[in-house]
Amino acid sequence: MTGQVPLFAFEDVTCTRDGRDILDHVTVDIPADGITAVTGPSGSGKSTLLRCCNLLEVPTSGRILYRGVPLEEQNPQQLRRTVAMVFQRPTVFAGTALDNLRAADPSLTVDAASSLLDEVGLAASYLDRDADTLSGGEAQRLCLARALATRPEVLLADEVTSALDEDATSVLEGLVGRLAEPADRGGRGIAVLWVSHNPAQVDRIADRCIRVDAGTVTA
């Protein structure tokens, strides 16, 4: 929307690791709604750009603003609850699915936990399941539910379907797409940044696309 404050504004951001610029003077605005895909070849800096958005990576130079406020002024722990992240491979904790959800929100009731599982397409009976016994697709949906337990405004998705089969990929794409819908259309209105190297997937899910190549935004 014209005049809207960007979700994230990267201002001349460089990230250097082991003497190499992973991001090289990146300046780009990310809109505050819908799904923005971040695409490009492996090793191009996509994941680093994503991880900068919740301070899992800290720029070597330049600055990043979240809704107009510099990230260096944010509390990292609170930021990561507001800007939640789901990683490439599902990482579940020891214990049940309920234990995993309560790792994000210790006060979570069983009813609220059941609602979260329902939102990601898992039955309430999964609450008592050992998280280690879940399939890859089920575990990734549990990770998504765990991210949603903090009531985030933003979801960072880093190649979240790359380890999943076609059916599980389709389910997860649909779930995230619905979360990004505005509340008056049945969604949560969560802004999504989705890293993918799959052009067909980007075509299916993205409202817009940022291309990263060799550490720079090229399109």
Residue with tokens 């935004």: 217
Q: How far is CA 135 from CA 72, 118, 123, 158, 159, in A?
A: 38, 17, 14, 19, 17
pLDDT score for 185: 87
pLDDT score for 219: 80
For residues 139 and 90, is the Cβ–Cβ distance under 8 A? yes
CA–chain centroid gap for 26, Å, is: 20
Report the residue count for the chain.
219
Fold exhibited by the domain 8-217: Rossmann fold (3.40.50)
Q: Report DSSP letters for 177-207, one per residue.
A: HHHHS-GGGTS---EEEEE-S-HHHHHHH-S
CA–chain centroid gap for 161, Å, is: 12
CA distance 201 to 42: 16
Q: What is the pTM of this model?
A: 0.92
Which regions in the chain score pLDDT beneath 50? Answer: 1-2
Q: Give the contacts of 193 (CB within 8 A, at least 6 positions apart).
A: 8, 30, 36, 38, 50, 53, 154, 155, 156, 157
Q: Where are the domains of the chain?
A: 8-217
pLDDT score for 1: 44
**CB-count burial class (<10 Å; 0-12, 13-18, 19+) for 64:** buried
Lookup: tokens for 11: 């201002």
pLDDT score for 3: 62
